[in-house]
């Protein structure tokens, strides 16, 4: 176990397992739950590493994307800066590997012409495996960030990985509906935080925005049930925004 944590310094669980395996080292024992996730990651890391090798620009793109996030954190120590960069880059790689593995598995299920195969059930099983792997990876990622960053900086990383949809959307609701009660604001924010945690684990920009879209629908239903005429409020808000722009 100590060997694993030494190898994990500044990187992800998946990458650490890959390094131990590649070196011919015996993998450590884990609890049943973590062992299952670790095995999945060790298989997936080959895919993520292969992607980087097949496409030389792949890791460069991830590094540039990560750099834009880390630059906002105010880190002055170069060692810490590189460690955080490495943690986030490997998170992107591991997420992509999980989603790619799921796509390959589902494609194989759909292409299977065997009789008596419950394809819907098989796809659901693959979805459950993917979600379990994402949850385990998410927890490990947040733990790694929290070991190097304060709570505010961790929040900044989360917002950066989800295009700052949470603060932008929360601000928009408050601007559109200044009469929101404290309880309503709290509920809206709680749902947006939940959406962000899920969106962080999606593999593409479109899928991240879909998660937020689902929660915005929930918020809008909640506000409509509370008596807000959102069609009318949206139109009035758009007019106010137009007037502000013209007054500059």
* Percent of the chain whose predicted confidence (pLDDT) is above 70: 77
For residues 101 and 46, the answer to whether their CB atoms sit within 8 Å is no
Residue 170 CB coordination number (10 Å) = 17
Question: pLDDT tens digits for 103-119?
Answer: 999 999 999 888 888 99
Mean pLDDT value across residues 235-242: 96
Nearest in space to 38 (alpha carbons), one of 11, 18, 9: 18
Q: What is the mean pLDDT of residues 64-93?
A: 97
Write down the mean pLDDT value for the chain: 84
What integer pLDDT is reported at residue 32 of this predicted model? Answer: 36
What integer is the mean pLDDT of 181-198? Answer: 98
Question: Does residue 21 carry a pLDDT above 80?
Answer: no
Assess contact for 37 and 132: CB atoms under 8 A: yes
The whole-number pLDDT of residue 51 equals 53
- Number of residues assigned to the chain: 248
Residue 31 has pLDDT above 80, yes or no: no
pTM, rounded to two decimals: 0.77
Span 218-229, pLDDT tens digits: 999 999 999 999
Taking a C-beta distance cutoff of 8 angstroms, is the pair 162, 170 a contact? no
Residues 60-93: b if buried by 16+ CB within 10 A, e if exposed: eebeeebeebbeebebeeeeebebbbbbbbbbbb
Q: What is the pLDDT of residue 113?
A: 86
pLDDT of residue 55: 66
What is the model's pLDDT at position 224?
98
Phi-psi category of 115—alpha, beta or left, where left has phi over 0 and alpha has psi -120 to 50?
Answer: beta
Is the Cβ–Cβ distance between 102 and 190 less than 8 Å? no
pLDDT score at 154? 98
Residue 44 CA to residue 100 CA, distance in Å, equals 9
Q: What is the pLDDT of residue 27?
A: 41
Report how many helices (DSSP H) and strands (DSSP E) the chain contains, helices first. Answer: 11, 0
pLDDT tens per residue across span 120-177 = 999 999 999 999 999 999 999 999 999 999 999 999 999 999 999 999 999 999 999 9
Is the pLDDT reported for residue 208 higher than 90? yes
Split at pLDDT 50, 70, 90, the class of 56 is low
Mean pLDDT of 10-30: 44
pLDDT at residue 34, rounded to an integer: 37
Give the least confident one: 17-26, 126-135, 185-194, 213-222.
Answer: 17-26
pLDDT, greater one: 32 or 205:
205
User: What local confidence, expressed as pLDDT, does residue 188 receive?
Assistant: 98
CA angle 74, 83, 40 (to 5 degrees): 130
Which comes out higher in pLDDT, residue 82 or 3? Answer: 82
């Amino acid at each position: 176990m100590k060997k694993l944590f030494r190898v994990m310094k500044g990187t992800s669980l998946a990458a650490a397992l890959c390094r131990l395996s590649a070196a011919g080292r015996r993998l450590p024992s884990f609890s049943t739950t973590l062992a299952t996730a670790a095995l999945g990651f060790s298989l997936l890391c080959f895919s993520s590493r292969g992607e980087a090798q097949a496409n030389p620009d792949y890791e460069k793109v991830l590094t540039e994307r990560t750099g834009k996030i880390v630059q906002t954190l105010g880190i002055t120590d170069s060692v810490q800066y590189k460690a955080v960069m490495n943690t986030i880059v490997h998170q992107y790689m591991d997420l992509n590997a999980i989603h790619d593995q799921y796509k390959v598995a589902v494609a194989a299920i759909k292409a299977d012409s065997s009789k008596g195969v419950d394809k819907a059930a098989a796809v659901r099983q693959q979805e459950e495996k993917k979600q379990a792997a994402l949850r385990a990876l998410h927890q490990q990622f947040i733990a790694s960030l929290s070991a190097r960053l304060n709570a505010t900086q961790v929040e900044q990383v989360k917002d950066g990985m989800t295009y700052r949809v949470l603060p932008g959307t929360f601000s928009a609701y408050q601007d559109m509906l200044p009469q929101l009660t404290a309880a309503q604001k709290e509920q809206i924010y709680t749902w947006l935080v939940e959406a962000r945690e899920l969106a962080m684990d999606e593999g593409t920009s479109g899928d991240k925005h879909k998660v937020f879209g689902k929660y915005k629908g929930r918020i809008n239903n909640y506000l409509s049930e509370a008596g807000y005429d959102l069609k009318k409020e949206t139109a009035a808000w758009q007019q106010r925004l137009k007037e502000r722009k013209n007054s500059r």
